[in-house]
Amino acid sequence: MPLIVQKYGGSSVADAERIINVAKRIGAVQKSGAAVVVVVSAMGDTTDELIELAHTISHEPHAREMDLLLSTGELVSSTLLTMALRELGHEAISLSGPQAGIRTDTSFGRARISRIEPARVRRELDAGRIVVVAGFQGITAEDDITTLGRGGSDTTAVAIAAALQADRCEIYTDVEGIYTADPRIVSGARKIDEVGYEEMLELASLGAKMHPRSIELGGVYRVPIYVASSFSDTPGTLIHAVGNGPADAFAAGLPTAAKPEPEHITAISPSAEFQTGNQMEDRIKVTGIAYNANVAKITVQSVPDRPGLAAALFEPLAEASISVDTIVQNTGGDKSTDISFTVSRTDLPAAVRLVEGMAQQLGAAGVVSSAGLAAVSIVGSGMQNTPGYASRMFRLLANGGVNIDMITTSEIRISCIIDESQGRDAVRLLHEGFQLDRS
Ligand code: ASP
Ligand code: MG
C-alpha cells in the first residue's frame, strides 16, 4: 500500500468550510488505496495573531512561553480537521508534534528536528487510520515544546515522510506550484513541471514559498515533493532528483502533466544533453529567475591587508546570527583592501554596528553602507558546464540600462546585486532574454 504524506498550509484550512473541503480531498486519497499522514499549518493568520497578542502583553515575550503559545495554532487546525474527517465517516486521529515523536534541539523559535520516533504514527496507520499531525512543532529532551521557525510545517511534513519512508510528500498551498519567475512580477511566468532539489533551494521564493529546510531534507533523504494547489486539481510542480531514472516511479499516481516529458528532462538534465545533437546549444538551461529585494551592502574601506582580516570581520556577525551573502574582496597595489558584502536589509543596523567596532580595531579608513539593493539571479543546473551564461546575463542587463554592483556565482546560479529601483525590470528582461516564457 503506498504511503503518502500530505501537508495543507494555513490558507487551505483558513475556515470551517475549507477544512471540510480538505477533509474530502484526504478521504478520496485514502479511498484510492493509500495510507495517509496529513500535516497541517495553523488556520489562516493564526500564528501572526498569536504573536501580536503576545506582544500586547510583553515587550519581549519569553521564548519558551512563546513557542508553547504558537504551538496551539496547529493543535486547533489538526483537531478540527480530524473531526471533519470523522464526520465524513473516516477513521482518523490527530497527534501533536510530540505525540508524533518529533524531537528537536532547544532553540526556541527556530528549533531543528533531531530525530523522529515514528512508532505511534505507524501504529495508527496500521489500525487503518488517517493520521493528522500538528505541523511546526516538536519537543526537546527536557519535554519543552518548540517551534521550527515560520513556515516550518513544510519541514515537519518532509521529515515525517523521510522517517516513514513514504512514497512521496505532497505540499498543498494556495498557488499552483513553482514558477520560472515571480508571477506577480512577470506576467509570462510559466509553471515548472519538475525541478531538482538544489535548483529548488535557489528558487524557493518563486510561486509557492517553501520552508528552505524542507527542500534540504528532501534532498538528503530523497523524498519526492509535489507542490500544488489545494483549491484546484491543476497539476503542480514535482521536486525530485531530476534525471536520475527513478523519477517516473516517484511520479506514478500524480496528475499526468506532473510526469516529466522526455523533452523537458532534456532541458534541465546535463546528462541528457548528448542525445540532443545539434540542438544542444539552443537548449534553455536556465530554469528560473530568482529575485530578492531585501538586500543591503556594507563596505569596509582600505583595511590593512593581512591574514585574519576577514575572519575578524565576519566572526562577530556569525555570533550575532547575521547571515552574510555576497562577499567581494579586492586587494589593490598599496597593501590595503576593500571588503564589501551583503546582508538582509533587516539585519543592516545591527551589522553596521558590529562592523564599525571591528573596522576601527583593524585600522580601516571607514565603513559605508547602502540599503536599497536587490539580488537578481539566473538559476539552472544545466548551466554548470556551459560557458556563456554569465556574459549573456550581463549583456541583457546592460542593454536594459541596469548597472551591476556586485556579482557572485555558484555552480547552478549567477547573481547580480543591482539597485532595487531596477529590480523588477531586470527580472522581466532576464525572463524574456533567456526565453523562459516559451516552453
Ligand atoms: N503556522 C506557522 C507559521 O505561520 C507554521 C506554518 O505555517 O508552516 O509560520
Ligand atoms: Mg503559515
Q: How far is the CA of 230 from the centre of ligand 2 (A)?
A: 14
Kindly list the protein residues whose Cβ atom lies closer than 6 A to any atom of ligand 1: 10, 41-42, 47, 73, 135-136, 150-153
Which uninterrupted H or E stretch holds 82?
helix 63-87
pLDDT at position 284: 57
Distance, in Å, from the CA atom of 88 to the CA atom of 24, rounded to the nearest integer, reads: 8
* Residue of 71, 136, 148 to test ligand 1 pocket, by largest number of atoms within 8 Å of CB: 136
What is the share, in percent, of the chain residues with pLDDT greater than 70? 90
Write out the E strands in 135-287.
Answer: 137-139, 145-147, 168-173, 194-195, 225-229, 237-239
Distance, in Å, from the CA atom of 288 to the CA atom of 181, rounded to the nearest integer, reads: 6
In the chain, domain spans = 3-266, 288-433
394-419 mean pLDDT: 94
CATH number listed for the domain at residues 3-266: 3.40.1160.10
Q: How far is the CA of 112 from the centre of ligand 1 (A)?
A: 15
Band (pLDDT 50/70/90 cuts) for residue 208 is confident
Tell me the helices (H) and strands (E) count for the chain, helix number first.
13, 18
Distance, in Å, from the CA atom of 65 to the CA atom of 54, rounded to the nearest integer, reads: 9
Band (pLDDT 50/70/90 cuts) for residue 388 is confident
pLDDT at position 253: 45
Nearest to 177 by CA among 225, 241, 229, 223: 229
306-323 mean pLDDT: 91
**Torsion sign, CA atoms 237, 410, 369, 185:** negative
Of 109-123, 273-287, 330-344, which range is least confident?
273-287
Give 288-433's CATH code, choosing from 3.30.70.20, 3.30.565.10, 1.10.340.70, 3.30.2130.10: 3.30.2130.10
Band (pLDDT 50/70/90 cuts) for residue 242 is confident
Residue 232: is its pLDDT beyond 50? Answer: yes
pLDDT at position 209: 81
Band (pLDDT 50/70/90 cuts) for residue 244 is very low
pLDDT (tens digit per residue) in 332-370 = 777 889 999 999 999 999 999 999 999 999 999 999 999
**Ligand 1 atom closest to the CA of 74, numbered from 1:** 1
- Residue nearest atom 9 of ligand 1, based on CA coordinates: 150
- Residue nearest atom 5 of ligand 1, based on CA coordinates: 151
pLDDT at position 247: 42
Q: How far is the CA of 272 from the centre of ligand 2 (A)?
A: 38
pLDDT at position 335: 83
3-state secondary structure of 388: coil
Residue 258: is its pLDDT beyond 60? Answer: no
Band (pLDDT 50/70/90 cuts) for residue 321 is confident
pTM as predicted: 0.83
Residue 273: is its pLDDT beyond 70? Answer: no
Which residues are CB-neighbours of 347 under 8 A, at least 6 positions away? Answer: 296, 322, 323
Q: How far is the CA of 121 from the centre of ligand 1 (A)?
A: 22
Distance, in Å, from the CA atom of 208 to the CA atom of 206, rounded to the nearest integer, reads: 6
Residue whose C-alpha cell is 507542490: 227
Band (pLDDT 50/70/90 cuts) for residue 66 is very high
